[in-house]
Amino acid sequence: MRSFVTIIFVALLAFLVSAKPMVDTNARRMARGLPLKAPRHLYRASPAAMARRSQTSGTSTQCSTGSPQCCQTVGPKSDPEISFLLGLLTIDATNINGLVGKTCSPITAVGVGSGTCNQKRVCCEDNSHGGLISIDCTPVNL
């Protein structure tokens, strides 16, 4: 009888250990120094949802690089005011290939936000400075 109880106990223990597999989360993988797993897609979007998601927001100008901006002034990096601003923001001017726009705002869809621009229209690659300046700009002709 004692061996029967021991066998049942060992079988039950083996079942409990194998019944709960260890989940290999990215946190555990990072702790072990392993590369992260790709995120799981929890749902598959319908073709209609994908079409809506891929549409652009309709801007008044089309830019091949960067986003359309309306700047009060546009000039080269050698302009004294622009080089002063670049120095204040600690931006390395040697990496700037195009023009620099000052006091810029995005040109959004027509009729929304600043859809009209009475200053200089440009396409800028770097607009990450809060509208104070935009870097590597090219003029847009409408």
If you average pLDDT over every residue of the chain, what do you get?
76
Contacts of 90 (CB under 8 A, 6+ apart): none
Cα–Cα nearest to 78, from 67, 90, 63, 94: 94
d(CA 76, CA 124): 13
Query: Is it the case that residue 91 has pLDDT exceeding 80?
Result: yes
pTM of the predicted structure, to 2 decimals: 0.50
Confirm if 58 and 90 have CB atoms less than 8 A apart.
no
- What is the mean predicted confidence (pLDDT) over 36-58? 61
